[in-house]
Amino acid sequence: MKLKKELGLFDVFTISTGAMFSSGFFLLPGLASQFTGPSVFLAYLVAGLLIMPAMFSIAEISTALPRSGGAYFFLDRSLGPMMGTIGGLGTYFALMFKTAFAIIGIGAYAAIFFDVPVRTIAISAVILFTVLNLMGVKKTTGFQNFFVVFLIIVVGTFILDGLYNIFLTDRFAPPASNDNFSPFFSEGFEGVIITVGFVFVSYLGLTQIASVAEEIKDPERNIPLGMLLSLVVTGTVYFLGVFVMVSVIDTESFAQDLAPAATAVKELFTWLPGDLGVYFMTAAAMAAFASTGNSGLLTSSRYPFAMSRDNLFPLRFSRVGASGTPTLSILLTSTIILFFILVLSEEGIAKLASTFQLVIFMLINFSVIVFRNSKIESYDPGYKTPLYPGMQIAGIVVSIVVIAYMGWLAILFCSFIIFVGFLWYKYYVRNKVKREGAVFHWFALLGKYQHEDLENEFMMILKEKGLRRGDPFDETLIRARVTRSDKKIEFEELVDFVAEGFSIESHISAGTLTKELMATSPIEPALVIPEVSLLYAKHEKIEHPSLHIVISPQGIRKPVSKGGVSSEDYIKVFFFLVNPTEESRQQLRMLSRLIDIIEREDFVEEILKRDNTRELKEYLLHNERFLTVRLLPGTVQANMIGRQLKDVRFSSKVLVALIERDGKTFTPHGETELKESDVLTIIGEPDAISRIFNKYIKYDSNNKEI
């Protein structure tokens, strides 16, 4: 039921950007100008600014909880399954409306050159995008990347050509003397607000990336950076592109034009022969609608998948096909989109989709406040929204104001979706789900309703995300104290012994540390490997993380509690980790990394086989960031023998962490002299480790591959 992590930064950028560049640029500008006149390009800029609180909030939650489902998952885990159901179904339908509208745009532009019914082309496009999505997310984004690159090139050329002709030639009057800009605000302030709400749908693709967060590599970097780059590029194109359209198309014609970009290009691109410029812009429009349709199907299909995993939807929709995609969810979504294309008109869809998304954005901004105040330690976002909580409060207020100007039809539509979502929750979900959101962790008076497994679920997500860049896990493991105990000892005695060692190191009362280490750990329920235990403590006087590993082949009897059942277990491997109080989330990430290591096959047997400290630590370190090199005569590395470590040239990205010599292991310093038969444990960045492997390990002294 897990999805593959295949999407990088550029994929995030193209999915988000591709989902925005379609009707917002090629269809809506003229229609939107009816509400505010030539100031329509400012409305696009304001809409881009107003979506920023929601963007920042979604980026924060996505980096903390990178799971498919986007708004549904956020609302469910913050406000509970009822709001998750309403938000999930509402956002799912809003995305499908927008996707259907974009795919109809493909047919509309194609009909300019081909005598084929618009809906026939749209249906063919849905079938094509369905096949691409079923083949795998990476193949889907491959086409998406092509669409977006081509689109940006054409639209960028259009803007540069337009600005050049407006300001540097006599072909068009500049804004100050151009009749197209008078009156600038045709309907006053109210007209601007209505227009902002109308074109708000143009930016909705920015937040769709949250629904595929589970499939993004390094989400803590790629999600916020990809969304921000997408907003900057798209906002700039909308603002300047619509400004060019207003400048070159007379006001009356512009308000009735359903293809203003194509009309404007007829006045520009005079350096191209014939109607070639129109052909290019039409091709760009079709690429835009195709990218929106493709990404819309990709992201909206993750909603039934995510809701199914939580029993809010039939379980079969959570199944993943051979290509790593949710097959049934894609097929269901495609079918509904086809239905919309066949029975609904194009008018009004943008306003309806925008209104419900404003409701969702309002709730997501509130969700950040809930998560922050829930004090759930495993809520650990890699990116935190700036200006908290002012940013979130502003986003909530803005959503309410814009919704008020959207009209009764849009408000009634939202009310209908909320009512349907409530009925689905009441008659299908409520008896299947025994879960509450983080909001009950916030309000202490409602503590009896806290969902105990919520922190455990967040902990599992934390484990899947792995360590954050800069977390000193490897260094802590290298410095770790290792104790082997072959004699019988009580668990309480062991904890006192370990606490005493930490006490000497950090000048903290041993009793204080003993009390912390003996407390029930929320990590333990997540640890299903028998004969292993993780204990940890925090204290403000601790300066850096410290780890003590205890190995007991005969086992030490320890009380355990899992799944609400208390018993005893004979523990053979103990990990004791202490951290500074202010680094509690870093401690959880490091404990999560330990869980990941412990879950290796035959972990306990492998640990007990390691006879010396170096071998044990190398086993725990083992990944692409680790390598050992033995200094032997007749090898490439023999030139290190007899030299001080500081005189050996290694990349700045690696560190010689341990040296084993004559059966003893120690941490070296710059003046350590390297000797024959020394075993060097080297840690560092994967690319640097790979280069060292190629130099010292991959080839023998005769340069033959071994």
- Give the pair of three-digit tokens for residue 489: 């000892």
Is residue 704 in some structural domain? no
Q: Which amino acid is at 230?
A: S
Q: 220 and 360 in one domain? A: yes
**Number of neighbours of residue 644 by Cβ within 10 angstroms:** 14
671-690 pLDDT, tens digit each: 899 999 898 888 877 778 88
**Number of neighbours of residue 64 by Cβ within 10 angstroms:** 28
Among 469, 465, 6, 8, smallest CA distance to 225 is for: 8
578: three-class secondary structure by DSSP: strand
Q: Which of 225-234, 457-466, 574-583, 649-658 has the lowest mean pLDDT?
A: 457-466
Residues contacting residue 323 through CB under 8 Å, at least 6 positions apart: 134, 135, 136
> What's the pLDDT score for residue 136?
63
Percent of the chain residues past pLDDT 70, beyond the cut: 85
659: three-class secondary structure by DSSP: strand
Q: 159 and 80 in one domain? A: yes
Please, which pLDDT band fits residue 565 given cuts at 50, 70 and 90? very low
Among 26, 5, 192, smallest CA distance to 112 is for: 26
Which of 586, 610, 634 is where one domain is finished?
610
Mean pLDDT value across the chain: 80
In the block, residue with structure tokens 């907003």: 231
> What's the pLDDT score for residue 547?
93
Residue 585: pLDDT over 80: no
Please, which pLDDT band fits residue 567 given cuts at 50, 70 and 90? low
> What's the pLDDT score for residue 497?
92
> What's the pLDDT score for residue 701?
39
**Which residues on adjacent β-strands are paired with residue 567?**
560
What CATH number should be reported for the domain holding residue 92?
1.20.1740.10
Q: Which H or E run includes 538?
A: strand 532-539
Please, which pLDDT band fits residue 461 given cuts at 50, 70 and 90? low
Q: 593 and 646 in one domain? A: no
Query: First vs last Cα of the chain: how many Å apart?
Result: 39
Which of 610, 645, 662 is where one domain is finished?
610
Q: 663 and 580 in one domain? A: no
CA–CA gap between residue 169 and residue 165 (Å, rounded): 5
291-330 pLDDT, tens digit each: 777 777 877 787 788 778 878 888 888 887 777 778 888 8
Q: What integer is the mean pLDDT of 463-490?
A: 79
Please, which pLDDT band fits residue 282 given cuts at 50, 70 and 90? confident
> What's the pLDDT score for residue 432?
79
29-79 pLDDT, tens digit each: 888 888 888 999 999 999 889 889 988 998 898 888 877 667 777 887 888
CA–CA gap between residue 204 and residue 20 (Å, rounded): 7
Give the angle 168-170-175 at the CA atoms, nearest 5°: 75
> What's the pLDDT score for residue 462?
64
Is residue 331 in some structural domain? no
Q: 559 and 580 in one domain? A: yes
Q: 62 and 40 in one domain? A: yes
Residue 653: pLDDT over 60: yes
CA–CA gap between residue 248 and residue 62 (Å, rounded): 42
What CATH number should be reported for the domain holding residue 509?
3.40.930.10
621-647 pLDDT, tens digit each: 766 677 888 888 888 888 899 999 888
Please, which pLDDT band fits residue 699 given cuts at 50, 70 and 90? very low
CA–CA gap between residue 74 and residue 531 (Å, rounded): 36
Is residue 275 in some structural domain? yes
Q: Which H or E run includes 533?
A: strand 532-539
Q: 577 and 640 in one domain? A: no
Q: 20 and 155 in one domain? A: yes
Q: Which of 5-9, 24-28, 320-324, 343-347 has the lowest mean pLDDT?
A: 343-347
Please, which pLDDT band fits residue 466 given cuts at 50, 70 and 90? low
Total domains present in the chain: 3
Q: 572 and 627 in one domain? A: no
Q: Which amino acid is at 321?
A: G
Among 420, 371, 378, smallest CA distance to 392 is for: 371
Q: 217 and 181 in one domain? A: yes
176-191 pLDDT, tens digit each: 788 888 888 888 888 8
Please, which pLDDT band fits residue 548 given cuts at 50, 70 and 90? very high
CA–CA gap between residue 147 and residue 287 (Å, rounded): 5
Is residue 167 in some structural domain? yes
Q: 573 and 490 in one domain? A: yes
Among 663, 679, 614, 668, smallest CA distance to 644 is for: 668
> What's the pLDDT score for residue 396?
92
Q: What integer is the mean pLDDT of 102-119?
A: 73
Structural domain harbouring 576:
468-610
pTM for the whole structure: 0.69
Which of 567, 583, 610 is where one domain is finished?
610
Q: What integer is the mean pLDDT of 514-522?
A: 74
Q: 606 and 629 in one domain? A: no
> What's the pLDDT score for residue 435?
63
Is residue 445 in some structural domain? no
Task: Write out the DSSP string of 76-140.
Answer: HHHH-HHHHHHHHHHHHHHHHHHHHHHHHHHHHHHTTTS-S-HHHHHHHHHHHHHHHHHH-HHHH
Is residue 314 in some structural domain? no
Residue 544: pLDDT over 80: yes
Among 408, 358, 346, smallest CA distance to 31 is for: 346
Cβ atoms 39, 185 nearer than 8 A? yes
What CATH number should be reported for the domain holding residue 670?
3.30.70.1450
Please, which pLDDT band fits residue 210 given cuts at 50, 70 and 90? confident
Is residue 325 in some structural domain? no
Is residue 287 in some structural domain? yes
